[in-house]
Amino acid sequence: MAKKTLGPVRREFTPWEDTAAEPFIEFRNVTKRFGDFVAVDNLSLKIYEREFFALLGGSGCGKTTMMRMLAGFETPTSGQIFLDGQDLAGIPAFRRPSNMMFQSYALFPHMSVENNIAFGLKQDKLPKSEIDDRVAEMLRLTKLEQFAKRKPHQLSGGQRQRVALARSLAKRPKVLLLDEPLGALDRKLREETQFELMALQEDLKMTFLIVTHDQEEAMTVADRIAVMDQGQLVQVATPAEIYETPNSKFVANFIGDVNLIETKVVEASPSQTRLEAMMGGFLIETDQTTSARPGDTVWYAIRPEKVRVAKGKAEPGSVNAVNGPVWDIAYLGDVSIIHAKIGEGDFDTLKSTFANVTRVVEDPITWYDDVVLTFDRNAGVILDR
């Protein structure tokens, strides 16, 4: 039997599944308050060596505070942070074995590119020949050789980003902290750089911790993602798990596009669950079990690309199928999105996306066409929060 996984496998690296594995970075019941505001709320998290870990969340969710506490710029109100077995409490930022790449890059404007990169090495009082070697290596790694003598204001945004990266890597830190590292780059360059970052992490065999609000960025680069909201971890899992099995409406909504269907439990047996959708009144049947009881309200989350759309009408009494007129169509080039109106209310629509695999479409679906939307038994997940 063929192996089954959620999504494609990027690399065989799953230390978090090994219960005996020692975490490399550990947050233990960490709370951080700013006055009345709780930025990080009694949070525990384990990150493993050589992991590319992403903290993902909206602004003010506490992700940056987490990183700043690890770097030593903020002190936890309570709780402990460990790095490579060492309790970081009381260790000032300039003695911590982590380096950070700042969102603003924070390049020293009065120093040349090479002096920016050498800055951290000089603090360690390394011999000059070693500093020169290391700077040359970093310049090569980030393809900045011909810009070594330039000042930051003579560089483009992408070049500055690479200087910031080179500077934070030069000291070979135990963990590299990336604070929204690609936020200032345009889309194309950002995508390129994401893959460069992954390759770099693989080559250097370092632990990377990235803070971002961009879910695509987190999905692309990270081995695991922690989705944060209001100072708490909502879900910590691989990108595929986060996308395919979100544990809450928040995660389902935050990552990617989703149809969240409010339903009433009809049957909750150990082998299957039957739900009745509030809008459209159609029946959903799934192998997934739930702790909810018949009559309870739960949500059924299904990704639009897992909803098939075809012209026609659903047969009466069919499950995992609903029909209605096409309400909206969006053509995005690579995919198209269809909104079908399945209920009475203005927003009672179901979304379906499909790849535009052919250039020419015969008998295309258009506005007000009656369509039937169907999906597999296990295409969605039941969410009770």
Partner 1 sequence: MSQKKSQAPKRSLGSKALIAVPFLWLVIFFLAPFFIVFKISLSEVAVAIPPYLPTFDLAEGWTGFVEALSGFSFENYIWLIEDDLYWKSYLSSAQIALISTLITLVVGYPIAYGMARSPKEWRPTLLMLVILPFWTSFLIRVYAWIGILKNEGLLNQLLLALGVINEPLVIMNTDLAVYIGIVYSYLPFLVLPLYASLEKLDISLLEAAEDLGCPPWKAFWKITLPLSIPGVVAGCFLVFIPAVGEFVIPDLLGGSNTLMIGKTLWVEFFSNRDWPVSSAVAVILLLILVVPIVLFQNHQQKLAEMQS
Q: Which residues bind partner 1 (CB under 8 A)?
A: 71-73, 92-96, 98-100, 102, 104, 106-110, 119-120, 123-124, 153, 167-168, 171
SS3 of 11, please?
Answer: coil
Distances (CA, A) of 11 to 6, 52, 243, 349: 13, 12, 18, 38
Measured from the CB atom, the residue of 98 and 212 that comes closer to partner 1 is 98
C-alpha–C-alpha distance, residues 24 and 9, integer Å: 23
Contacts of 256 (CB under 8 A, 6+ apart): 215, 243, 303
> Residue 82 Cβ, how far from partner 1 at the closest point, in Å?
19
> Residue 73 Cβ, how far from partner 1 at the closest point, in Å?
6
> Residue 133 Cβ, how far from partner 1 at the closest point, in Å?
18
> Residue 57 Cβ, how far from partner 1 at the closest point, in Å?
21
Would you tell me how many other CB atoms lie within 10 Å of the CB of residue 355? 9
> Residue 107 Cβ, how far from partner 1 at the closest point, in Å?
8
Measured from the CB atom, the residue of 116 and 273 that comes closer to partner 1 is 116
> Residue 212 Cβ, how far from partner 1 at the closest point, in Å?
18
* Contact assessment for residue 277 and residue 300, using Cβ atoms and an 8 Å cutoff: yes
What is the separation, in whole angstroms, between the first and last Cα of the chain? 35
Measured from the CB atom, the residue of 133 and 376 that comes closer to partner 1 is 133
Distances (CA, A) of 322 to 57, 133, 184, 264, 288: 34, 66, 43, 16, 20
C-alpha–C-alpha distance, residues 158 and 188, integer Å: 11
Measured from the CB atom, the residue of 152 and 239 that comes closer to partner 1 is 152
Measured from the CB atom, the residue of 94 and 368 that comes closer to partner 1 is 94
> Residue 270 Cβ, how far from partner 1 at the closest point, in Å?
54
Measured from the CB atom, the residue of 73 and 327 that comes closer to partner 1 is 73
Would you tell me how many other CB atoms lie within 10 Å of the CB of residue 80? 14
> Residue 193 Cβ, how far from partner 1 at the closest point, in Å?
20
* Contact assessment for residue 177 and residue 209, using Cβ atoms and an 8 Å cutoff: yes
> Residue 138 Cβ, how far from partner 1 at the closest point, in Å?
13
Would you tell me how many other CB atoms lie within 10 Å of the CB of residue 4? 5
Please give the torsion angle defined by the CA atoms of residues 134, 137, 143 and 145, in that order, rounded to the nearest 10 degrees. 70
Measured from the CB atom, the residue of 72 and 246 that comes closer to partner 1 is 72
Contacts of 42 (CB under 8 A, 6+ apart): 29, 30, 31, 79, 232
Would you tell me how many other CB atoms lie within 10 Å of the CB of residue 89? 11
The string of DSSP codes covering 276-302 is EETTTT-EEEES---SPPTT-EEEEEE
> Residue 109 Cβ, how far from partner 1 at the closest point, in Å?
7
Measured from the CB atom, the residue of 39 and 176 that comes closer to partner 1 is 176
Measured from the CB atom, the residue of 162 and 341 that comes closer to partner 1 is 162
Measured from the CB atom, the residue of 73 and 82 that comes closer to partner 1 is 73
| Residue that is written with structure tokens 């800055």 in the block | 119
